[in-house]
Homo-oligomer: A and B are copies of this chain.
């Protein structure tokens, strides 16, 4: 894992002097300096993530300034660090392609995968309040992200109530789904947790126009396990059980859902006890 940007003390060095880079400048995997696209309008309309990402819900042509303040950040390689835990919050990031994970190291040195980010998703929502990023964000594969400097975004929100409203809704939804999804996870077996996770991934790919039956997940078994509160061994064994039941085939990071209806049914299987309050 190579530190790319340390938005802490190194912010000025690494990224916030973007105008010296030309948009679309190529970057080799050796080049460990972050490149921005400068302040020129990022073409959100041509972005594959657009219809699904937060900005996409607000047609960009209604708020051209949004494209103005959005900067395209050059490609991240697998293992590159986008954000270091604890560094001061400056920007949100929109995933354009690829995927990333957020890992938080606790006081007792636990390593927790606290979020996974797929194309279209917003990184940094949980950093606004504290003014610091609560975890490191690491690229799981070759990925591109757009940077949304928060000060400017916020200032734009002042002038565009609709943008503000949508952003608030997005944040609220994120909170709601996190509350619900986590409470569910707490009461589910590994089999159901994993099924739920896979269905969610599948759904994400489906919405983005990719096959919901075949996809590649760049994260390791360990990351999946950690994210779901399981161990790698359990994830591995559960996947074997799926294969035995001809629910799902896997080969490395390739996932092939063989029986979607059954997987979905499994994912919806209620927890253990009804627990009448």
Question: A176 with B130: in contact, given A110-B271, A271-B110 (CB under 8 Å)?
Answer: yes
A274 contacts B126, C-beta separation under 8 Å = no
Question: Once bound together, how far apart are the Cα atoms of A182 and B103, in whole Å?
Answer: 14
A276 smallest CB distance to B (angstroms): 6
A172 contacts B125, C-beta separation under 8 Å = yes
Q: How many residues in A have their beta carbons less than 8 Å from beta carbons of B?
A: 62
Interface residues in A139-188 by Cβ distance below 8 A to B read 154, 158, 161, 164-165, 168-176, 178-180, 182-187
A231 beta carbon closer than 8 Å to chain B: yes
Contact string against B for A residues 181-213, beta-carbon threshold 8 Å, 1 for contact and 0 otherwise = 011111100000000000000000000000000
8 closest Cβ pairs, A-B complex: A186-B229, A129-B173, A126-B176, A129-B172, A128-B172, A182-B182, A108-B270, A129-B169
Q: Could you name 27 residue pairs across A and B whose Cβ atoms are closer than 8 Å? A: A101-B277, A104-B183, A106-B184, A108-B268, A109-B270, A109-B274, A112-B187, A113-B183, A114-B180, A125-B172, A126-B172, A126-B175, A126-B179, A129-B173, A134-B176, A134-B179, A154-B165, A164-B164, A174-B175, A178-B178, A178-B179, A182-B186, A185-B229, A187-B229, A222-B277, A226-B277, A231-B275
